[in-house]
A and B are shown apart, each in its own frame.
Chain A
Amino acid sequence: MAAGVRDRWRRFLSHAIVALCLVAVLLALVPLAMVLFYVMSQGITSLNWAFFTHMPAPVGETGGGMANGILGSLMVTSLGAVVAIPVGVMAGIYASEYRGTRLANGVRFAADTLNGVPSIVIGVFAYGIAVLPFKTFSAIAGGVALAIMMLPLVTRTTEELLLLVPSSLREGALALGATRARAVFTVVVPAALPGIMTGILLALARVSGETAPLLFTAFNNRFFNSDPRQPISTLTVQVYTYAISPYKDWHRQAWAGALVLVMMVLTCSLLARVATARMERMQRGS
């Protein structure tokens, strides 16, 4: 009898916990749905062509857009990518080719460490090395900050994906008389390219929404600027400035900016997903 009660209790407890796990999933999905819903509904009503083509309107006037911020974001992110991709890919190649050496372990450790450093701290560092010596905020400084944020992701994905390339490919190249560099650059890296692209896209998705490291590196600019040595407006910083302002029309534009940001990040993530799927298919095929 006692055993029967105990069994029923155990079964009840099991069902209750399973139900609680489901509740946990729903609890996380509610804010996700809410955020997406508000960004969509508030953003779409405020988003218009002028948002992409016009400059910010002066305080008090309605209308205008974030053309300079969008271009600025593209510029700062590109500057970051131009630095982070070659460095990250080469460091990743070293880490996978010389796996087990002290330097390779060091790179892996450094990349993981860097990945956990708060973005605001990276902003402070970029300020120290790229703003203070030149005494001016600049698009380049913003690019430096974003490059440091992208670096660990690119390094680690390159390393991990190169290790997935079947060793028979490399051995084939070496057997045909290729040097190590040649085998790596013409056979191993191309085989892992879709995966490396995924890493780069994920890194881009991550930094294209970053605000904190740009606040005091790229700073902000009311006007259009194409000189990388000058402060530049970015979409994220613009959204922040507008969100904390007291003006209704600026809030509206902040939502529009948020929608554009979410779209950009989602596009990068989806492209990354497509690239991963292709990589997986290729691996199954081989």
Chain B
Amino acid sequence: MKNTRADYLLFRVGTGVFALLVITVVVAIGWELGWQSRLSIKAFGWQFWQTGTWDPVAGQFGARPFIWGTLYSSVLALMIATPIALGIAVYISELAPGWLQRPLVFLTELLAAIPSIVYGLWGVFVLVPYVRQLEASTPEWLKSVPLFTGPPLGVGMLSAALVLSIMVIPFTSSIAREVLRAVPQAQREGAYALGATRWEAIRMALFYARTGIVGAVMLGFGRALGETMAVTMVIGNTPQVSTSLYAPQYTMAAVIANEFTEASDELYLHALIEIGLVLFVMTLVINMISRAFIWSLGQQGRRRPSRRAAPAAAEGV
């Protein structure tokens, strides 16, 4: 008997140590990034995020253009990717004939499996020339709109947003698909029974799953914020704050990728790591919120039928 207890304990501790290790890694990432960026945090404080001069030679570091570039490219990518991703999710889960569902799921997963560097390569040599042509053919009257100012370079915000959107689509659509699958069939049948058209039934399913859908979109946002290689290769890597889609800009992930090995002095390195720290915190918060949304849908699905059933039964009596 005693032997069994010892064995039990050994098993629990033996596997528990590894479990603890996984948690330690996450904590260690936060701690390490904070510690390694202390010089920059001390030297610049909040100024770091409010100024836009990035001059390693003079020891001046302001990260505003990078934060702007990251947020702007991610939001643009989301604006392109979200409708497409939701359309795919709706098509696969609600509309596609059974034989088509599996191949379509496979193809969208393939979109996620292609390495970032391959998207980058394709972006540089195929997409950017197309974008340049498109930019060069901007009609005169559009050129005064702040979105379309500047020379047609090809590399820049527009290319980055396009590549990002392609890369975000599979993530958003696969979560949205799962969320839609969690909508009880009775909800759809109810809608059809009331004479709803297909779209009205879908709209009902989307409304039922709304928190999960928001979660799916935010998860895509988290992915877009941290995407590095493909964006680095097409965004033009110029630290400036501009609303123009044609302007070459820079993102937080890209500046780390490009300048990390060149960081000659400690302050420079710490400034780059501080950017990494903020990127870490941003994605952490966004992912937590998005998971909370998706999770709350699961709870709602479990609770709702009973809550609804009770008043309905009472009315019946």
Listed in ascending order, the chain A residues whose CB lies under 8 Å from chain B are 10-11, 13-14, 17-18, 20-25, 27-29, 31-32, 34-35, 38-39, 42, 86-88, 90-91, 93-95, 97-98, 103-104, 106-107, 110-114, 116-125, 127-129, 132, 148, 151-152, 155, 179-181, 184, 205, 208-212, 215-216, 219, 236, 239-240, 243-244, 251, 254-255, 258, 261-262, 265-266, 269, 273
Contacts and interface: CB of A to CB of B under 8 A. Distances in A.
A112 B22 CA distance: 11
* Most chain A C-beta atoms within 10 Å of own C-beta, residue among B86, B87, B111, B225: B87
B87 A24 contact: yes
Interface string B1-25: 0001001101110111111111101
Contacts of A155: 22
Interface stretch (B48-56, B88-96, B296-304, B308-316): B88-96
B78 interface: no
Nearest to B124: A243
A21 B33 contact: no
B19 A118 contact: no
B136 interface: no
A25 B227 contact: no
B211 interface: no
A179 B21 contact: no
B91 A116 contact: no
Given A117-B284, A125-B28, A35 B91 contact: no
Contact of B84 (A28, A181, A236): A28
Contact of B287 (A29, A32, A112, A261): A112
A239 B117 contact: yes
Nearest to B256: A120
B204 interface: no
A261 B20 contact: no
Contacts of A180: 7-8, 11
Contacts of B36: 124, 128, 132
B120 A117 contact: no
27 contacts: A14-B198, A22-B91, A24-B84, A27-B84, A28-B88, A32-B114, A94-B15, A94-B18, A110-B23, A112-B291, A114-B25, A116-B222, A116-B223, A116-B284, A117-B29, A118-B225, A118-B226, A121-B29, A121-B226, A124-B33, A128-B32, A128-B35, A179-B7, A209-B113, A209-B114, A243-B120, A258-B121
Contacts of A262: 114-115, 118
Interface of B: 4, 7-8, 10-12, 14-23, 25-26, 28-29, 32-33, 35-36, 83-88, 90-92, 95, 104, 106-111, 113-122, 124-126, 166, 169-170, 173, 197-200, 202, 219, 222-223, 225-229, 233, 253, 256-257, 260-261, 272-273, 276, 279-280, 283-284, 286-288, 291
Contacts of A29: 107
Contacts of B169: 28
B257 A98 contact: no
A162 B107 CA distance: 28
A46 B18 CA distance: 45
A24 B26 CA distance: 37
Contacts of B122: 34-35, 38-39, 258
Given A25-B87, A27-B84, A180-B11, A18 B199 contact: yes
Contacts of B117: 209, 211, 236, 239-240, 243, 258, 261
A184 B11 contact: yes
B283 A116 contact: yes
Given A209-B113, A258-B117, 4 more contacts: A121-B276, A184-B11, A239-B121, A251-B125
B260 A20 contact: no
Given A10-B197, A22-B91, A38-B126, A113 B229 contact: no
A132 to B, nearest CB: 8
A265 B115 contact: yes
A21 B87 contact: yes
Contact of A179 (B11, B16, B126, B261): B11
Given A24-B87, A32-B111, A120-B276, A151 B8 contact: no
A210 B122 CA distance: 16
Contacts of B108: 28
A97 B15 contact: yes
A122 B272 CA distance: 14
B257 A215 contact: yes
B199 A17 contact: yes
B284 A113 contact: yes
B15 A120 contact: no
Q: Which 8 A-B pairs have the closest CB atoms?
A: A118-B226, A24-B87, A209-B115, A90-B18, A116-B287, A14-B197, A181-B11, A14-B199
B33 to A, nearest CB: 7
B113 A265 contact: yes
Contacts of A124: 33, 36, 256, 260, 272-273, 276
A215 B261 contact: yes
Nearest to A90: B18
B124 A151 contact: no
B121 A98 contact: no
A261 to B, nearest CB: 5
Contacts of A106: 19, 23
A125 B228 CA distance: 15
Given A32-B107, A118-B283, A91 B256 contact: no
